[in-house]
């Protein structure tokens, strides 16, 4: 049995004085020796935390004991070591940044797509009147996606609203949305309904839950995760690798961040190119004086940027 766990979760539930809650919650997490990343907003919680089995159990019990978060569903992975190095808990305007000026039109507690359990989703994906919509970013679906899924050219979820018009041709279809853990689909499906899509669904628990409960069938490639594992296996039934090395085109499932912190591009890169380019996406990035040492993983603790340089 592995000694550590990683918990992925979210909960849309109003939090009064969310900024203070974030500060208090950070102290609580540190008291349990947890590491991870939690976003707190007036609309709820979005987090991934990691630590000992005992600490994770205590954390889940504490979250469920709070009436506001009693419905929170945790996706639990047993891991060899904690999936983060530090603990962060920050207040932001949204737990998933939608890019909308008026966020009231997509309140998941009022209206969202019909939740499909993994087995239900699995039964629907091959129906003729169904389209499968990946609402994640480019670097995520480049690494892995459902067979025949429609993907969008977006760098961040806040770009999703601008793509709604491109999807208008599917208004008469059943639209099945999916993402990593379900949180983006809550807002994506709500926005689709707002724009006149009538039959909208979402994969409850996302790709991670689908892998655990439906074997990940027909999910091609790996699933990108936002911790130092970077990518995890999902499909135990008919697995495949669909991603290719950004530099040479060789089939590879390895995802890295460019070693140049001023670039930090998410790319798939084979080990040979990783060694040759020292973990960088290009020759230009190798010469950057702030280039981080490449240890073969392609994962780096976030480095503060000098004033005037964007990450």
Distance of alpha carbon 45 from alpha carbon 224, whole angstroms: 20
Is 11 a catalytic site residue?
Answer: no
Distance of alpha carbon 181 from alpha carbon 150, whole angstroms: 18
Q: What is the three-state SS of 205-255?
A: CHHHHHHHHHCCCCEEECEECCCCCCEECCCCCCCCCCCECCCCCCECCCE
- What residues contact residue 60 under an 8 Å CB cut-off, 6+ apart? 7, 74
Distance of alpha carbon 34 from alpha carbon 193, whole angstroms: 38
| SS3 label, residue 81 | coil
| SS3 label, residue 96 | coil
Element (H, E) at 175: strand 174-178
Backbone angles phi, psi at 277, to 5 degrees: -100, 5
Residue in this structure with the two tokens 């009147």, named with its chain if needed: 129
- The catalytically annotated residue of 29, 89, 179, 270 is 179
The pair of structure tokens assigned to 300 is 């780096």
Residue in this structure with the two tokens 């709500």, named with its chain if needed: 190
Strands 130-134 and 223-224: unpaired
Which are the catalytic amino acids? 179
């Amino acid at each position: 049995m592995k000694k550590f766990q990683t918990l992925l979760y979210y909960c849309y539930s109003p939090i009064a004085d969310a900024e203070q809650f974030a500060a208090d919650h950070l102290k609580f997490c540190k008291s349990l020796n947890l590491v991870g990343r939690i976003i707190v907003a007036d609309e709820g919680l979005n987090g991934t935390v990691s630590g000992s089995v005992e600490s994770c159990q205590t954390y889940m019990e504490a979250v469920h004991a709070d009436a506001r978060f009693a419905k929170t569903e945790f996706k639990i992975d047993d891991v060899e070591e904690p999936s983060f190095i530090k603990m962060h808990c920050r207040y932001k305007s949204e737990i998933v940044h939608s890019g909308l000026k008026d966020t009231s039109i997509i309140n998941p507690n009022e209206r969202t797509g019909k939740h499909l359990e993994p087995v239900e989703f699995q039964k629907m994906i091959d129906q003729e009147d169904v389209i499968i919509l990946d609402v994640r970013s480019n670097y995520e679906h480049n690494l892995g996606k459902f067979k025949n899924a429609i993907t969008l050219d977006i760098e961040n979820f806040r770009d999703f609203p601008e793509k709604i018009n491109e999807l208008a041709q599917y208004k008469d279809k059943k639209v099945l949305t999916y993402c990593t853990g379900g949180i983006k689909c809550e807002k994506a499906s709500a926005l689709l309904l707002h724009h006149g899509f009538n039959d909208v669904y979402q994969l409850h628990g996302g790709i991670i839950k689908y892998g655990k409960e439906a074997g990940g069938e027909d999910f091609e490639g790996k699933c990108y995760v936002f911790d130092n594992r970077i990518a995890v296996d999902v499909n135990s039934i008919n697995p495949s690798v669909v991603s290719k090395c950004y530099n040479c085109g060789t089939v590879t499932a390895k995802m890295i961040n460019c070693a140049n912190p001023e670039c930090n591009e998410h790319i798939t890169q084979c080990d040979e190119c990783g060694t040759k380019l020292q973990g960088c996406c290009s020759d230009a990035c190798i010469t950057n004086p702030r280039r981080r040492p490449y240890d073969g993983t392609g994962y780096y603790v976030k480095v503060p940027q000098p004033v005037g340089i964007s990450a």
